[in-house]
Chains A and B, each alone.
Chain A
Amino acid sequence: MTLNRREFLQVMESAAATAAVGSLIGCRTPDQPVDPDAPLASPPRSGLKETWLVSTCGACPGGCGVRARIVEERLVGISGNPLHPINRGGLCPLGLAAAHTLYHPDRLRGPMRRAGAAGSGDFKSTTWADGIGDVSKRLRDLRDRGLSHTVAIVDGSRGLESQLAARFLESYGSPHHVDGRAWTDDRAPEAVRALQGISGPVSYDLENARFILAFGSGWLDGAASPVGAGRGYALARRARKSKRVHVVQIEPRLSVGAAHADEWIPIEPGTEGVLALGFMHLILREGLENRDFVDRWGTGFDALRGIVLRDYHPEAVAERTGIEVATLIRVARRFASTRPAVAIGDDRVGPGAQAVEARMAIHALNAVVGAINAPGGTLTPPPVPFAPLPATPADEAGKRGAAMPSLAGNGGASGLADLQSWIEGRGQYPINLLIVLGADPLAALGGGDKAKAALGRIPFIVSLSPFLDETARRADLVLPDHTWLERWQDDATYTSGGYPVLGLRRPLLPPKQDTRHAGETLAEIARGVGGATGGALPWKDFPEVMKLAIAGIHQTGRGAIFDVSEAEPWVETMEQSGWRASDFGSFDRFWSKLEERGGWWDPSYDFGERGRVLRTPSGKFEFQQLANAYDPATAARPSVVRVGDGTPTASADPEKRLHQEYPFRLHLYPLLAAYGDHAGPLPFVQDILGKEMEQSWRLWVELSPTDADALGLTDGTGVIVQSPDGEVEARVKVYPGIRPGVAAMPLGPGGAPGQICRRAMGASAGSLVALRKDPTGVSGWGAGWVRVRKA
């Protein structure tokens, strides 16, 4: 189309004479260089086939709803789904850049078999029939030899896919279903389990809180759902009617979360538990505790009171935590007298310094002020009411294998630390075959070469990763999964207000590469194994499994399909008055509505369900457990996790020795990009991941000006950071927002050679800490001590 001068001027006029001219050049791909002399070659193209589909973001476990803009079979944009209750149309950089995940140059093209040495990255392509046939045959052979229990699945997936893996193992005959989620450990769930007796997650009702007492960096930028937490924070800050929330952040580093707090209290790392008990001391001494909760719903409170009032005087706490007495008194009073107030431990579990006891002490602060299961406090989201899958068929061989002791040794769930220590010699028999599903155990184990050596001793590793991540590089066979943009999945999560949410993840486009749904790959392997295993995953595809389970929601008639937010209070009122808002119609109609709107949720929370929230043997909040943990007489856990907690323990001496050799306390903080492991390394994200520190792409270590001066280091100096578990290269960032004596590093994904977009961080700070188990069987990241020297 050509324009004469008059028309040109009209366009300029009506389009406000503008940047538009750029737009009017029309779409060009980079291989068609734009001719700067042809400004008005064509107006914006019209008549392009454009569709919008909704799905659920899979870049992190946050569960935001997304809308995809698809033009002529190309995914050209991802934005937030305005109907989704977690994000209401907003989205973080990982989700927004997700079209790059789909078209990522480092994606695997199809199934591959290792050609060179393990870890060389040398692979040759193979067919699906060959790959699946090979695994099935190996599994069949092991089973025939009575060795089915030597097979393990490392599973980082959630929901139904994880259930498929469990069914597979149960029918095949192995107890080794290993939790492979990155940067998770047992500390936070263990603390809640000990006090409340529940294993599910706890959500913090940020939106309604008037005082947030946050310990650690993770509550805002690294929460279970970063976007959900950000939204809750913003609403608490500037909701229309109520007073603005007051935020106190306790952390050795002035993080993004601390920068947004009203007060930042730099604490000696590892003394968070002592501080929590110090606050409790002041609250009890001044009689500010919530007697109603403590008396009616607590047990063992007097024992705890005795210890806290005896051992945690403000002066003693001030000395150990490095926080002034006046600050302690001011914060404790305000926390106990503001309603509602909530204390948040490091929600994002990762290698922090907080021991289980410390997390228990922080959580118990909520109980002391009556913020357990209360608006603006901690909530326990009910589960999404899926229908259970039919019983798993099992034969004799399967039952025998599945009854073998699990890697965890105590019959509990196994984690990566169990797998590693089992292989390193604790185990009674070798692991012969490992299937890796939605996980990258090598990256997640940390600890540098030790994890590599351990995994290297498994004779056959199958990875189902869509990218050549660290584990896939060492695998013998890679059967790549779709990216989250090409696959079906259920994403059950919850809002910060405690409402259960089911997000539907659906393919936005046909697969771009020769990949297959991991759940379907697993089912095909099962069919290849035959016998009872062959019948364990009988479904033709993954949506069939989803429909089976989601029918449960349809049957309950509870909750509602996602809708505009204005409807929320209305739905809630109707539900409370006993009226069911939902008229789902037939299941097919329900399903198509799910596809159209993105999911289902149940926007009601019953604060009366004490039995669901307090599941301890006593049916009460177990203050006694916390008392035991901090009672010097019972000396609860002389654990690796406890190292550095600041309390006098059996491990105090090795602690001192460590400190002499490694003078800096390592503070690892979450970085959004660390969540991006499911998304592939995205250039846009790599470029901004340390923006607040003016860093990107490469790993850095933050030191206080005093420490940097003492070592003769300046901004940008290359250094080696070394811990007892490993070492990494990094650049120095001198930052006055760090407590002297602390070295802070971001926890992001490491780089792998040979990848186009992942020259990235180079090394991961995760290799400085290792996942270990303490004698009571709780896994945690070793409290890191490091030394820093010039490279």
Chain B
Amino acid sequence: MNETEHAKARPRWGMVIDLDRCDACQGCTTACQTENNIPPPTPQSAAQDRSIRWMELLPNVEGEYPRVKLRLIPRPCMHCDKPPCIKVCPVGATAIGAEGIIAQVYARCIGCRYCTTACPYTARYFNWYPPRWPEQLSQSLNPDVSVRPRGVVEKCSFCHHRLQKARDKAAAEKRELRPGEYLPACVEACPTKAMFFGDLDDPRSEVAQLARSPRSFRLLEDLGTEPKVFYLREGE
């Protein structure tokens, strides 16, 4: 297999969120926070708008009584194919991987926050506080994910550690990675099964098919960032 063929065989990971199924319970938010060792928020962090939620429910109220519309959209990192965050990073602390996942290298991040400003989806979070877990709460930390120091930016990684684990397991069993074997924590936890995850380049995959649905749209599509998170709007 030459280089090009190898590259083609690589999946391009993407997500589809069906807003017609989502009931805005925020299970995805909490599943992400516990999986990824987000420090427990405090009233102080909330008051200063500094709570970290890689997956966040964005409310949007439009109209006037009685014709009001409340829209609730769960928003992870879009893992854009043309990510604006990467272009502004002065130290190369963020990069797009061969499978389309936008990585954040904490050790390189200098905390300048250019990327948090550049991201049109506000999906990037700065660690304003040292990571702290009251008393025994640190016992519940997930051993697969590091904690981040104060002063670095972090964001949704599509639970990349899960991909590594799934790959390791597949390699140990001398087989290919199976579809559905790698799911981010939010997708796994979704009570209404409103979230789908897989290889957008595989035309047979559920995500690729759903992404082509007439209901499909992406956030701020006109910016040309080419997000790999698709939404399915409500309705028939």
Contact = CB atoms under 8 A, between A and B. Distances in A.
Interface stretch (B81-89, B91-99, B221-229): B91-99
A258 B34 CA distance: 29
Nearest to B95: A17
Interface in A702-742: 704-705, 735-740
Give the interface size bracket for B toward A.
35 or more
A92 B27 contact: yes
Q: Most A CB atoms within 10 A — which of B26, B42, B56, B95?
A: B26
B57 interface: yes
B193 interface: yes
B61 A93 contact: no
Contacts of B105: 21-22, 39
A103 interface: yes
A237 to B, nearest CB: 5
A244 B41 CA distance: 39
Contacts of B72: 256, 259, 692
A138 interface: no
Q: Most B CB atoms within 10 A — which of A23, A234, A686?
A: A23
B147 A30 contact: yes
B26 A103 contact: no
Nearest to B133: A30
B58 to A, nearest CB: 9
Contacts, number: 294
A34 B188 contact: no
Contact of A23 (B26, B134, B139, B164): B164
B51 interface: yes
B192 A234 contact: yes
Interface in A509-540: 512
B103 A21 contact: yes
B192 to A, nearest CB: 4
B77 to A, nearest CB: 10
Nearest to A46: B168
Interface stretch (B17-25, B118-126, B200-208): B17-25
A103 B136 contact: yes
Nearest to A23: B161
B29 interface: yes
Interface string A45-84: 1001000000000000000000000011011111110000
Contacts of B109: 36
A688 B143 CA distance: 25
B1 interface: no
A75 B25 CA distance: 24
Interface stretch (A156-164, A224-232, A367-375): A224-232
Nearest to A513: B136
A445 B64 CA distance: 37
Contacts of A244: 20, 235-236
A19 B101 contact: yes
Interface stretch (A94-102, A415-423, A457-465): A94-102
Contact of A97 (B30, B68, B161, B192): B30
Interface stretch (A8-16, A173-181, A292-300): A8-16
B152 interface: yes
A694 interface: yes
B167 interface: yes
Nearest to B77: A19
A543 interface: no
B179 interface: no
A97 to B, nearest CB: 5
A238 B21 contact: yes
B156 to A, nearest CB: 9
B191 A20 contact: no
A474 B215 CA distance: 56
A100 B103 contact: no
B191 A76 contact: no
B144 interface: yes
A92 B25 contact: yes
B24 A256 contact: yes
Contacts of A18: 97, 101, 103, 157, 160
Given A93-B29, A238-B18, A698-B43, 6 more contacts: A17-B97, A19-B104, A79-B189, A691-B56, A694-B59, A696-B46
Interface of A: 13-31, 33-34, 36-39, 44-45, 48, 71-72, 74-80, 87-93, 96-97, 99-100, 102-105, 220-221, 226-227, 230-231, 233-234, 237-238, 244, 254, 256, 258-260, 264, 266, 512, 672, 683-688, 691-694, 696-698, 704-705, 735-740, 756-757, 759-760
Closest 6 pairs between A and B when the two form their complex, measured CB to CB: A90-B191, A19-B157, A234-B192, A99-B140, A18-B103, A93-B30
21 contacts: A16-B101, A21-B103, A22-B145, A25-B107, A27-B141, A27-B146, A29-B147, A39-B106, A74-B139, A76-B142, A88-B193, A92-B25, A92-B27, A96-B27, A103-B135, A221-B24, A231-B191, A266-B66, A683-B40, A687-B51, A691-B26
